[in-house]
Amino acid sequence: MTNNTDAPRKTARSAKTRPRTTRPRKVEDAARLVDIYRQMLLIRRFEERAARGYTQALIGGYCHLNLGEEAAVVGLLSALAPSDYLFTNYREHGYAITRGIDPKYVMAELYGRVDGVSKGWGGSMHMFDVTHRLLGGYGIVGGQIPLATGAALALDYRNQPDVVMCTLGDGTTNIGAFHESLNIAALWHLPIVYVIINNQLGMGTTVERSSAEPELYKRASSYRMESERVDGLDPLAVGEASARAVARAREGHPFLLEVVSERLRGHSVVDPAKYRSDEEVAQLRAHDPVHTFAQQLVRDGVMSDEDLATMDQEVTARVDEAAAYAEASALPDVSTLFDYTYATPVANDSRRLPGQPLFEPAPLPVAEDDQ
């Protein structure tokens, strides 16, 4: 057996790691293309406004943005039916909006206000909306994978036709829950699509440095699970791949889809991304999926530069309206802090606030002279 432990590792990412769509495209419906771009642009302007809100201290806690992943988000969700279920990680603002949740409710949640998706309790990382079948937003790396697998088991047990889509980051493929969940899903033929959003950086470490097999979709072969890798900067290619994966999952064949994308900024809003070279930053800007798709629409005669400018104004106004709505929304009252700790009443449920004693002190005895 050849020992490759001393072989040089890649130290920088390359555009070659991203699958490119080279086959001829069939003619697409112009209205559909315009709608895809509108959704991508809405995510872009929303996330830019969220970054601004964070620097203004209007958003607290952690805040992770979908900037650079707009094509992946829109393409993936285009294949889901309204009755299908979606689990995401903590980078979920764009997913919530594309799933159909009004941006003003998403922004209000970022602001921690009562009109937010989760009434201000979830914030950026923990959005949850049963109506739109968005079942999280999870702050723990990989925390969503076993839960999504359990949801798929419930659908199979009840013989329901719906599927589960579970998105995760590239770094999540190295934890045990990823492998355990894929193994169970393959054994029990669960209706689930696991989607690796491979922005090629697990926080600040490249996939090549953290994974002995950087083509992450190949990990499905260990469980005899179907898999595919797709260019995450092309919303049409992602949509087609997502449709194939969802169709197979609906037939009882779990699927692993790797979407190779880019992250235009740091891991979170406060990450300056110093691990990137100037050359890499320039490459990221050159491959910006929102700008690239807009240019393609102009070249194909679907939209004009004037159309793009008008749409940008409309989308920006909508985001401004969402920010104003969020800022005007009330903060949750302190008395409601424990309202959603348990789904049903629990005996001896403590509602002690920080600084309050565990037990109320007994009243001091009153001296006879004081009576």
Query: Residues 154-170: pLDDT tens digits?
Result: 999 999 999 999 999 99
The CATH number of whichever domain residue 219 belongs to comes to: 3.40.50.970
Nearest by Cα to 112 from 95, 126, 102, 100: 126
What's the structural domain count of the chain?
Answer: 1
> pLDDT for 215-264, tens place per residue?
999 999 999 999 999 999 999 999 999 999 999 999 999 999 999 999 98
Kindly state whether residue 283 falls inside one of the protein's structural domains.
no
The overall pTM is greater than 0.75 = yes
Does residue 3 lie in a domain region?
no
Instruction: Check pLDDT > 80 for residue 303.
Output: yes
Asked, for residue 10, whether it belongs to a domain, the answer is: no
Which domain covers residue 154, as residue numbers?
29-272+289-337
Tell me the two tokens of residue 318.
């909508």
In a domain, 250, yes or no: yes
Sign of the CA dihedral with 197 first, then 201, 202, and 207 last: positive
Rounded alpha-carbon distances, angstroms, from residue 4 to 7, 9, 219, 290: 5, 10, 20, 40
Give the pLDDT confidence score for residue 278 in this predicted structure: 86
The Cα 22–Cα 183 span in angstroms is 33
pLDDT category at 146 given cuts 50, 70, 90 is very high
Phi, psi (deg, nearest 5) at residue 28: -100, 155
Is residue 108 assigned to a domain? yes
Predicted local confidence at residue 14, as pLDDT: 45
Distance CA 85, CA 153 (A): 12
Q: Which stretch of 198-212, 283-297, 345-359 has the lowest confidence by average pLDDT?
A: 345-359
For the chain, where are the E strands, in sequence order?
A: 85-87, 164-169, 192-198, 201-202, 205-206, 226-231, 255-260
256 assigned to some structural domain: yes
